[in-house]
Amino acid sequence: MSTQLIYSMFQDVLFPASEQGAEDDGSDVLQLRRLKRYVPLPETPVRSGSIVVFDLETTGLDSKADRIIEIGAIRLNGFNEVTQFSSLVTTDIELTDDIIKLTGITPDMLKGQPPIASVIPEFLSFIEGSILVAHNAEFDMSMLKAACSRLGIDLEWPCFCTLKMARTFLAELENKKLDTLAAHYGLKFESRHRAIGDIKVTVGVLAGMLQQDATQLTNWSHFQPYTV
């Protein structure tokens, strides 16, 4: 059970609320911040260990103003799929026509879906004990950390980026977009710009790089140049 601080005259000074946090936690009292952290040992195996490849769909690119509308993730152990996590997320932020066109997610699809305050704890439980992976992970981690922060959670989690890896190991490619990497490894999307569809291709891209181009990377210490 989380500890709560009853309002006092010093609350606003000591614990200033975020600009748009009220609609996210639905609480009239301010929760004390808590740290959610995982620190793998340098020798932790990545190829044979537990990793979670994840992807977010959002209302835009600004981690402060925009919100998550879909979280997807696939847990792998030794690159064998163990389980999936997938959830749409309701939000008060209006979806633009560009986002609807890009993702295929409509306002009607988000009606009745759980709020981020319900989805984040489930997702954090799902990733427990696993290293995170994403393509262009700086964006996904910034959105994830911002969502956690609005709920009073400071997230410190290991994550490495297949985009950063591609810049090193596939420097000859014209660009390092996920579509380009998919074509390079002969992969096809089930659904583009939907979380699980993008994740499955990211898994294939990561496997391709580790099997063909980055064979020297094995343990967590080897992935440090590609972390975010």
**pLDDT tier at 27, thresholds 50, 70, 90:** very low
Contact 194, 104 (CB under 8 A): yes
pLDDT number for residue 214: 97
In this prediction the pTM is: 0.85
**Over residues 20-38, mean pLDDT:** 64
pLDDT number for residue 159: 98
Residue-wise pLDDT for 204-217, tens only, equals 999 999 999 999 99
Residue-wise pLDDT for 86-138, tens only, equals 999 999 999 999 999 999 999 999 999 999 999 999 999 999 999 999 999 99
**Over residues 140-145, mean pLDDT:** 98
| Best CA proximity match to 70, nearest among 99, 37, 34 | 99
**pLDDT tier at 12, thresholds 50, 70, 90:** very low
Cα separations (Å) of 87 from 10, 161, 196, 212? 38, 22, 10, 33
- The pair phi, psi for residue 131, each rounded to 5°, is -85, 135
Q: What is the mean pLDDT of the chain?
A: 89
pLDDT number for residue 21: 40
Contact 26, 114 (CB under 8 A): no
The domain limits of the chain are 36-223
Contact 182, 204 (CB under 8 A): yes
pLDDT number for residue 190: 81
d(CA 75, CA 53): 7
DSSP 16: P
pLDDT number for residue 191: 74
Catalytic residues: 193
pLDDT number for residue 113: 98
**In CATH, what class is 36-223?**
alpha beta
